[in-house]
Structure 1
């Protein structure tokens, strides 16, 4: 997703492109998987006056607009990433804390089985699998 398409998406939905929104989107893109606090710290490198509540409100709006999405990768705050880059499943190692991504194709059979067996439609964009990585096993 380019900066131009961000501007177009916001304007098409009746929202202004504010410096804060632009900085939050850039931080989400640069950090890939970041908590609101990490995003805020990144934004403050450019705009020191931005506070955490502004970041939370901006993330909420951007998620409502389908521009960002979040995942829960542990017990802490959710992590955010661009919705256009959300076609993956997160693997979180309980040993070292490493977070890796795999293609949704790897869970296709599981998703189909859930649908067929119990009629459950899985939101794979929020799927996180916890376990132990190759090094920690």
Structure 2
């Protein structure tokens, strides 16, 4: 796991809070799934109940994610027009390419985005938050399918 239960306990204790079974379960589920919306986390927790964890409802998942993000243990990004998608913060060393055609999500190295962010900061004094970066466009397969469809349409 990217964030151990012990580090979660220590982080929460430092803030005068407890690592409840629900908090541990949400963080573990997020680590297992890699990326997940609160709804996907709730479904995962219902499908994989732990003996010591009461069933988590959606509002508990949202509150837990907000707390874990405030503590710097998880981060979120907006990959589409629905709920934010969360990930364990230690796993946030990439950005996301989201295909508008098929919805495919691809993780890619953050280095090119860092160069872009540095250029923007130098020119505008604006510091970009790369932890929330996602680029929307067309994957190679959908782009090729669109080209093929255009070729067929132009030959009619």
Larger Rg: 2
1:33-66 deviation digits (Å, cap 9, x = unpaired): 1000010111223156321111111111111111
Alpha-carbon distance between aligned partners in 1 of 2:35 and 2:26, rounded to the nearest angstrom: 13
Distance 1:63 1:108 in 2: 22
Partner of residue 59, structure 1: 65
Q: Is it true that 1:114 corresponds to 2:120 in the alignment?
A: yes
Q: Distance in 1 between matches of 2:108 and 2:80?
A: 17
* TM-fit CA distance, 1:3: 2.2
RMSD of Structure 2 on Structure 1 (CA): 1.2
Which consecutive residues of structure 2, in runs of 5 or more, have no partner in the other structure? 144-156
Match of 1:88 in 2: 94
2:109 — aligned with what?
A: 103
Name 1:71's counterpart in structure 2.
77
Equivalent residues of 2:22, 2:54 under 8 A apart: no
CA shift at 1:109, angstroms?
A: 2.2
> What is the number of residues matched between the two proteins?
137
Contact map agreement 2:97 2:108 (CA 8 A) in 1? yes
SS of the residue corresponding to residue 34 of structure 1 reads coil
TM-score, normalised to structure 1, is 0.94
* Per-residue deviation, residues 57-114 of structure 1 (Å, max 9, x unmatched): 1111111111111100000000000011111111101111000111110222211111
Residue 35 (structure 2) aligns with: 33
Q: Which 5+ residue runs of structure 1 have no aligned equivalent?
A: none
What is the TM-score with the length of structure 2 in the denominator?
0.83
Following TM superposition, by how much is the alpha carbon of 1:4 offset from its aligned partner in structure 2, in angstroms?
Answer: 2.0
Q: 1:4 aligns with which of 3, 6, 12?
A: 6
